[in-house]
Amino acid sequence: FNKALTDNVNEIEKKMTNIFTDLNNNKPNVKIANDLTQLIVH
């Protein structure tokens, strides 16, 4: 159970990092919104 949780957190951290990178690179907001939605749904 703990390992699954840790993997999940690592996965979320990776996705968040990508989202912030996109924000810094002025990527389209639609893509960022989609990524955030995916993260929340996940």
Query: What tokens appear for 14 in the block?
Result: 């990776």
Domain that holds residue 16: 2-41
- How confident is the model at residue 14, as a pLDDT? 92
CA distance 40 to 1: 20
Interatomic CA distance for residues 38 and 36, integer angstroms: 5
pLDDT, one tens digit per residue, over 1-40 is 788 888 889 988 998 998 888 888 887 888 878 888 888 7
Q: How many domains does the chain have?
A: 1
Residue 42: pLDDT band (50, 70, 90) is low
- Dihedral sign of CA atoms 40, 16, 23, 30 in order: negative
Amino acid at 14: K
Kindly write down the DSSP assignment for every residue of 15-30, as one continuous string.
HHHHHHHHHHTT--HH
